[in-house]
Structure 1
Amino acid sequence: MTGTDPAAEATVTTTEVVLPGKVEASGLRLVQRALPQPAAGQVMVRVESTAVSFAESAMRRGRYYGQPKFPFVPGYDLVGIVESAGPGVDPALVGRRVAALTKTGAWATVVLLAAAELVEVPDGIAADEAETLVVNGITAYQMLHGRAKVRGGQTVLVLGASGGVGSILVQLARQAGARVIGTASPRHHEALKALGAEPIDYRDPDLAARVRKLAPGGVDAVFDHLGGASVDLSYRLLSHTGTLVSYSIASKLDDKSPVLLSFLVLLSKLAFWNYLPTGRHASFYDIWAGAGKPGSAKREAFLIRTRTDLSHVFGLLRDGGLTAKIAARFPLAEVAAAMELSESANRTALGKIILVP
């Protein structure tokens, strides 16, 4: 009879939110299953905070390009405490608060993750505050400084300025010394003014004229999450050397056309504009661009970039340069209500919707 290590065989029970197929938010299911102890290079993380984003709304409809086959556990990012570490992982990581960009799988109470893909959260930052910055902070920072290269004295237009990404874009742009025009529901205008933005009603039929009145020479950058016809307007609002950064196709969420076709149409349009003899530039931002396969040199470079940028944004939050904007908090068991709020045309709060396992 050969001996076995009881600790190696021990399992931990996790509660997960499962998306079984194309269902309404009420069709999400809570299930429990056993997790083994971490394998080599892995850690077990007790999730403290995760969130609802546009990606999950698209996945629920089967309209997120590259999503897994149903059923699966959604959840784009998380913040939690490392409870145990597998072979080859620095044991000092146990007990630390970490963040992870997951794309799927974060809507759970306990998860297994590759230790190499974690970013440590600085002391003094609460879990739900850190959660507001994981995917949204990386996205906003890389678009603003990597793609648009916004500088002091420039004017930028942020569509959906009250959202999770938009509210961080506003703060980062103001910190860079840029003037910010932001579209949002009137109920959020005072909050946007407090962040230093000049708000415009996103439903205003004269939105373009109002932007041109504020920026007669055009804006230096537009950040557009809507896609579709919106990018045409965004491009026309640019200055002669302006930059359009498109980063989602939210306007196509309930469209019946194939999602790949919607992306191809958008990408073709952006590419065509870049061939025109103007000083303008247009691009599509994807947080996973260049990620490569696990273990590859591309993945290592992607992880270094992600860790560097998120650590910088965490530092801004810790030092008071950013304010965490939390729209609402829901227990994981009330994920359906959280999604319904996220997808509501009249969001009642500004920022990110947090799920608390």
Structure 2
Amino acid sequence: MPQSRKSQISLIDTPYYHCVSRCVRRSFLCGEDKVTGQNYEHRRGWVEDRLLFLGSVFSIDICAYAVMSNHTHVVLCVDKEQADSWSMGEVLERWHRLYQGTLLSQKYIREDKLTKSELFTLKETAEIYRKRLYNISWLMRNLNEHIAREANKEDNCTGRFWEGRFKSQALLDESAVLACMAYVDLNPIRAKMEATPETSKHTSIQNRIHALIKGEQPKKLMKFVGNHRQDMPKGIAHSLIDYCELVDCTGRCIRENKAGYIESHHSPILERIGINSEQWLTLTTEFERHFHTAVGTEHMLQQFRQHTDHQRIRGMAKARALLQSA
């Protein structure tokens, strides 16, 4: 039985979530349909562009993504504090980048004069919009509906394009976040679509590597901000170079079938998150197989279970086996 979104998302426990959307009946989102010969490769760019655009509108950072032939993976980080800091005007401006809004919000954007009662009503409406702008379901809705409309228009048809709901996994600790990001970034390599991370089109790792070559970080992705220290800025608490090297090394292990072996100079980042190379390779090749609603240490899973009123959480045994050192 499908679980309510409330039981899958708990900002008390974590702002990080892994979301997966799949096409109905394994319809092709992108790539080439071997049955019909039709090529849909250009649609991968649709998804990437729309996702990065939504990251600039919502108070939700894009940590990782991979656009595959019939499904997409994204790792998101909700920033409720940022959304709460926005003025009413900023909330309405962002909302109007997605929707027409109401007659009152349109008047406000045009800087027309509002009565006290109109302003009171508009403030209530803006608070509804504010909550939606840090809501993962609203971001995924804006992504999937847009792509479905464009694909149906191109195919000259109607009807559902995506499965009814996207799958969501809560990433409860640093190890789970990094492992899931690498799992997402390595999707094209595991699927034998690409040979290396830097050639993996329409993925966050290619985006990050291309920026790194220029000595930069992608402006539309959540930044890596270095190792833990006082006064940490917002971002992922590791070096971008370390992460890119680790993903590249892991990709080589997967491609060359060298399970359990990672070169020694890549081990420090794994040591810092408390995972050995064998655990890491299992996580980055079988992440979705072992975990369902949430991913983290056994202690973190128990806390998430209590906060979301689950009777039980699948993956406890694997958490002990794969994340017990984290």
Instruction: Tell me which interval the TM-score lies in, with the shorter structure as reference length.
Output: under 0.3
TM-score (structure 2 length as normaliser): 0.25
Structure ranking higher in strand proportion: 1
Structure ranking higher in helix proportion: 2
Greater relative CO (CA pairs within 8 A, separation 6+): 2
